[in-house]
Amino acid sequence: MEINGIFHSLRISRLSLYLVKDVATDCNLAYHLCYTKDPCQADVLKVLGNIHTIWSPLNLVTPGLSYSQGACLPSAILESPECITLNMVRMDNALCHLAHSIRDYVCNSLNSTLNFGLPGQPKGRGYIEHGIHLIGHHFHRFASTTGSHPNSPIKETKINAKKAPVLTLNALE
């Protein structure tokens, strides 16, 4: 965190990534990074609103990070991002997804159908579950964390426990 030009290190235990993906084209329409393990309905409304917000690339200052040729979200290349329409929005049964404000926004503002699927039956949300699997496989944990469980061989070293490695939020995004 930066306050008055001075960086202060803060540990973040969990992050949540909301990603809106078009099933027909396999295209990512919008994303929102939440700095908490328990996102709220405001986070869901934010990512749904990002669908119709013109995307602009982040200023990448971390060495080794760059966008690939032509990388962007559809809202950056369309004349009007409002032309992006959704037929059906599929979500899991997380409590923040069940809020009335989410239902009202999807049904009344996006003119879409909202589908939660059956609890404990992820078959109807195959793309969602596939995305979760990919993220879990490629970005499971940074090596400086405690790992998946207390006996994990990649648990935090004593040096890292005293002085944690630093990753800026800009580099993370």
pLDDT at 139 over 60: no
- Which two tokens mark 169? 């939020």
Q: CA torsion 56→61→62→66, rounded to 10°?
A: 50
pLDDT at 144 over 50: no
3-class DSSP state of 114: strand
| Amino acid letter for position 2 | E
Contact 25, 53 (CB under 8 A): no
The model's pLDDT over 7-53, given as tens digits with 9 standing for 90+, comes to: 777 777 778 888 888 878 878 889 998 888 888 999 999 999 999 88
The model's pLDDT over 67-113, given as tens digits with 9 standing for 90+, comes to: 888 888 888 888 777 778 888 888 888 888 889 999 999 999 989 99
pTM value > 0.75 = no
